[in-house]
Amino acid sequence: MPVQTSRRSPSPDQTEPPGRTGTTVGKSTRGGKRARRKDPLWARLALIMGAVLLVSSGVAIVGSKVVINQATSGIEQENLLGDAGKSDAEGGKDLEGPINMLLLGVDVRGAWGPENVRADTIIVLHIPASHDQAYLVSIPRDTEVQVPASKKSGWGGGTAKINSAFEIGAKNGAGWAGGAQMMAATIKNLTGISFDGAAIINFEGFKKVIDALGSVHLCVDQEVTSYHMKWVDGKPMWNSDAERSGKPMKPIVHKKGCRDMKGWEALDFSRQRYGLKNGDYDRQQHQQQLIKAMAKKAMDSGVITNPIKLNGLVKSAGEAFVLDTGGTPVADFVFTMRGVAANDLVMLRTNDGHFNSVTEGAEEREVLKPISLEMFKAVRDDKLADFIAANPNVISTKK
């Protein structure tokens, strides 16, 4: 379904989330006014979520929107935001102000349908109105939230883990688009944030893009044994495939240290949470590390500045990737960010990177601490730089 050319009207089966307050640009940092660097960050963002080629090096490819349109024409585009897209009062399709993107990673296996899929990677990408920085904020998959009612999915509304919002919204044929819309509405209810766009990528898409890049450089900070894969005859295999082979299996252990990783290894490491000191919170930071590493590799290897390589990279993501730019042409989205400074992506932690659990029946759920709710309010109000200056501990220490 083509991307709409105007902002969305509210869906009839979802409760209207609370509106945003007005936005104010915050440009301060711990060191005072931010110094702009020479390299454009918009090029580095080309591989957000593994294949979200929202931006590319327009300067290096003669700044041609035609080239960018050609490179991104194969990306599937759908309405992923529903009521959570920015209204006209919030700026609508105007990208001159702050930009908020919802990035979702889903795990699809075998014959699973969309209604069996949960979004276990949930990231808010925020670019302030100054367009000189970019921030990644992960939302814990087990966060307790109020998921709004939906007649189409047969959900009457209620409390659930946030990762189940995608599964709920995808029911009764609504598919990935319905799942993303429910997730976006749930996050807007929780944080008040409206979005300019969204992207979904199947975890398999990460592997394909990394393989297309050759490898990515990652640093393992904690030794961890894979919960998902085993060695069989010297090759990595999913547990289910390894067991069916009937052959001897050996554990895959991700050792501490920095190294170049192939697609399967980088993806498997970034998906681990069992055996890590802070569980899913450490996994969130490892996933942010992976995104940053992929963007850096694409920039350093010249993929972003080469139309042929860029086309090949988009093709490698294939059907594993869906994009919504909120009715704004992809090329316009790209050119809006072409002047963003090349500061590295700033990775931020929710709940100080530590558990803040409550027990609901037989399961534990995470509750966002007041400081994390304040951080999302700062995103909503475009005052994140000021918030970080006052709360530097929210910055991830992972490299």
Kindly report, residue by residue over 153-172, the tens digit of the pLDDT: 899 999 999 999 999 999 98
SS3 37: coil
How far from chain centre, in Å, is Cα 210? 16
Determine the pLDDT at residue 26. Answer: 35
Burial of 67 (0-12, 13-18, 19+ CB in 10 A): middle
Determine the pLDDT at residue 201. Answer: 82
Kindly report, residue by residue over 15-36, the tens digit of the pLDDT: 433 333 333 333 333 334 334 3
Of 34, 45, 351, 384, nearest to 199 (Cα)?
45
C-alpha 144/C-alpha 188 separation (Å) is: 14
Kindly report, residue by residue over 209-258, the tens digit of the pLDDT: 888 889 999 999 999 999 999 999 999 999 999 999 999 999 999 999 99
> Which sign, positive or negative, has the C-alpha torsion 107, 3, 296, 210?
positive
Domain coordinates of the chain in residue numbers?
A: 40-214+283-394
C-alpha 327/C-alpha 312 separation (Å) is: 25
Q: What CATH code is assigned to 40-214+283-394? A: 3.40.630.190
Determine the pLDDT at residue 339. Answer: 52
How far from chain centre, in Å, is Cα 234? 32
- Of the chain, the percentage scoring pLDDT greater than 90 comes to 47
Cβ atoms within 10 Å, residue 268: 22
Determine the pLDDT at residue 245. Answer: 96
Burial of 371 (0-12, 13-18, 19+ CB in 10 A): middle
Res. 350: pLDDT tops 60: yes
Res. 54: pLDDT tops 80: no
Determine the pLDDT at residue 382. Answer: 96
- Chain-wide mean pLDDT for the chain? 79
